Amino acid sequence: MERVEIPLPEPAAGGVDTPLARLFGLLEAVAGRDQPFTLQSMAVELGLPKPTVHRLLAQLEQAALLQRQGDARHYAAGVRLRRLAERLMLNDSFNGARRMVLRSVVQELGESCNITALAGSEVVYLDRVETAAPLRFYLHPGSRVPVHCSASGKLMLAQMPPAQRRRLLGHVPLDAYTGATITDPALLERELEQVREQGYALDREEFLPGLLCVAVPVPAEAGRSHNLCVAVQAPVMRLNAERAPQVLPALRRAAEALARIEADAMPRANRA
C-alpha cells in the first residue's frame, strides 16, 4: 500500500477567545433566534461587553450578514447569511450521496457502516448508518475514537511516512481501552506493517469489548489521500477476525463510490 502524506489537522481550540471565535459565536446565537434582537440582549447572551458586541455587529452588518430593522435598534439575519444557509441546504446532496453509499453497505452486509477521517490525534465519524439488528454498538456522527486502537486510525497511520507517524504518535499516549489494545509502540509498528501489506485494517475488540471493525481507505490520486476511510462494525458473535475478509468486496466497492463522489465535488470546491 502506497504511503501518502495525510494532513494532520490542528486540535480543536475549544474555549479559545479570539476575534474570529467571537464572530462565529455571535452568528451561532443569531442562527438560534427566531426573532430580531438588540445589542443589549446579545451582549447578555454572549457574556461580552457591549462595546465588543457593538463592534462585532457592525462588522457583520457591513458584510451583509446582518441587517438592522426599521427601528435601527434590532438586528436580524442579513441577505448574505440567509443565502449562505440556503446554499448549505441545497448542497446537502453531497452528504446525501455519501449516506446512500453507507446504506447500500448496511443493506448488503447487515452491519453498521461509517465514514471516518483523521482529526488531530483522533478518528472522527463523519457519517454513519446503523444496522437494524437489535444487538449493535451505537456511535453517532461526530464521535471520536483513539487513532491507535481503531481500524480506521491504524489504516491512516499505516499510510503515513515514518517521520509523520512518529511525530503524531510521539504525542499520543497508547492507552489500554481493553485487554486487546496494542500499547507497545514496537508491536503497533508491526501491526501497521501488516496493514500496509494487506490494504485494510482490523480493530479486534481493541477499543470496545465485543466489537470488531474492518476499514479500507477511500482511494485518491497517486501521492494524495482523501484522509477518509469506510468501515464496517459488528459484534464479534456475528463477525470475527477470520470472517472479516468476507466484507472486503462490499467495503471496497463503497470506497470506490465514495472516491467518485469526492472527485465530483472537488472541482466545485476549487472554484469556490
Q: Residue 39: give its domain's CATH number.
A: 1.10.10.10
* pLDDT score, position 272: 45
Q: Is residue 8 part of a domain?
A: no
Q: Are residues 50 and 150 part of one domain?
A: no
Q: Report how far residue 64's alpha carbon sits from residue 56's, in angstroms, rounded to the nearest whole number.
A: 13
Regarding whether 117 and 202 lie in a shared domain, the answer is yes
Q: What local confidence, expressed as pLDDT, does residue 269 receive?
A: 41
pLDDT of amino acid 223: 46
Q: Which of 89, 108, 134 is the last residue of a domain?
A: 89
Same domain, 53 and 174: no
C-alpha–C-alpha distance, residues 59 and 195, integer Å: 50
- The answer to whether position 12 is within a domain reads no
Boundary (domain end) residue, out of 89, 112, 135: 89
Same domain? 112 vs 76:
no
Question: What's the full length of the chain, in residues?
Answer: 272
Specify the pLDDT at position 57. 92
Residues 240 and 228 in one domain: yes
Asked whether residue 75 falls in the same domain as residue 134, the answer is: no
Residue 229: its pLDDT value, please? 94
Domain range holding 35? 19-89
CA nearest 211: which of 155, 104, 131? 131
Give me the helices (H) in 185-224, please: 185-198
Residue 121, domain CATH: 3.30.450.40
- Total domains in the chain come to 2
**Residues 167, 242 within the same domain:** yes
Q: Going residue by residue through the chain, which has 272 residues, state the pLDDT in tens, using 9 for 90 and above.
A: 545 554 544 444 445 678 888 888 898 888 877 788 999 999 999 999 999 999 999 999 999 999 998 888 999 888 888 878 766 655 666 788 888 999 999 999 999 999 998 887 889 888 899 998 888 787 777 788 999 999 999 999 999 889 889 888 888 899 999 999 999 999 999 999 999 999 999 999 999 999 999 999 998 865 455 588 999 999 999 999 999 999 999 999 999 999 988 887 665 444 44
Residue 155 has a pLDDT of: 95
Neighbours of 147 (CB within 10 A): 23
Q: Do residue 251 and residue 155 come from a single domain?
A: yes
3-state secondary structure of 133: coil
